């Protein structure tokens, strides 16, 4: 019985290695997390960070580093339909015309238009985004539709700020192991990274969740920001 279990596990592991790194964050750091492609994408030469960041720009024609964060991955050129006040009249915060900042970087893999292995001077194209890693509720038409996902690139405007929304907690409220709400905003803008920790870092990400900063159990992550 034990032998069979070990054999089954070995098969599961082999299959995992043949496709992508293991799914579901363990909250134990980026190594072996869903964003560790060091074993699966040969052009990475065994490195982890390089698919997204590089210590030097190496004179890449595309100049991906112009996106800040020493960014090293090809950036999406798609246009998106935003979740804004035209779509839902109950939205108060200003929404950018197109995704900005960190969200644009996530979408550079998660909108499915750019190959996962298109980084630095590698054209990529061998590793496409697996369908299950597309943003839930995202419609991939000619214009990529974000109206089925929680608003992003939107102002976080709580009661504590001028003209703010009383149903949003102050930015000093706790956000799991990531500190406060202020710590997960880009300036005062909410992005994908406000809910997800891309690095699956210990303390910051909750194990067994899709890289979430706060657990979904009891909708704790929603209640971190919303007074409900």
Interface with ligand HEC (CB under 6 A): 20-21, 23-25, 30, 34-35, 48-49, 51-53, 69, 73, 88, 90-93, 102-103, 105-110, 116, 129-130, 132-133, 135-136, 149-152, 154, 156, 165, 168, 181, 184, 190, 192-196, 198-199, 210-212, 216, 219, 221-222, 224-226
Alpha-carbon distance of 224 to 157, in angstroms, equals: 14
**Given phi > 0 = left and psi -120 to 50 = alpha, else beta, which region is 198?**
alpha
140 in Cβ contact with 112 (< 8 Å): yes
Alpha-carbon distance of 36 to 50, in angstroms, equals: 10
Q: Looking at beta carbons only, is 55 or 142 nearer to ligand HEC?
A: 55
Q: Looking at beta carbons only, is 3 or 141 nearer to ligand HEC?
A: 141
Q: Looking at beta carbons only, is 8 or 167 nearer to ligand HEC?
A: 167
131-137 contacts: CB < 8 A, separation 24 or more?
132/23, 133/34, 133/109, 134/110, 135/107, 135/110, 135/111
Residue bearing tokens 């112009």: 66
C-beta of 58: minimal distance to ligand HEC in Å? 17
Q: Looking at beta carbons only, is 2 or 228 nearer to ligand HEC?
A: 228
Alpha-carbon distance of 192 to 188, in angstroms, equals: 13
Q: Looking at beta carbons only, is 30 or 120 nearer to ligand HEC?
A: 30
């Amino acid at each position: 019985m034990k032998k069979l279990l070990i054999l089954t596990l070995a098969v599961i592991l082999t299959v995992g290695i043949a496709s992508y790194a293991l799914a579901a964050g363990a909250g134990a750091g980026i190594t072996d997390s869903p964003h560790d492609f060091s074993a699966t994408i040969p052009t990475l030469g065994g490195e982890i960070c390089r698919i997204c960041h590089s210590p030097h720009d190496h004179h890449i024609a595309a100049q991906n580093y112009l996106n800040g964060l020493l960014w090293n991955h090809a950036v999406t050129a798609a246009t998106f339909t935003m979740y804004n006040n035209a779509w839902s009249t109950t939205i108060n915060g200003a929404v950018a015309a197109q995704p900005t900042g960190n969200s644009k970087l996530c979408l550079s893999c998660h909108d499915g238009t750019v190959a996962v292995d298109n980084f630095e001077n590698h054209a990529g194209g061998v590793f496409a985004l697996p369908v299950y890693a597309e943003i839930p509720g995202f419609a991939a038409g000619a214009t990529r539709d974000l109206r089925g996902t929680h608003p992003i690139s939107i102002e976080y405007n709580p009661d504590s700020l001028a003209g703010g929304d009383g149903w949003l907690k102050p930015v000093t409220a706790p956000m799991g192991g990531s500190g406060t709400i202020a710590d997960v905003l880009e300036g005062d803008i909410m992005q994908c990274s406000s809910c997800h920790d891309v690095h699956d870092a210990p303390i910051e990400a909750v194990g067994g969740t899709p890289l979430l900063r706060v657990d979904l159990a009891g909708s704790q992550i929603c209640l971190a920001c919303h007074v409900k």
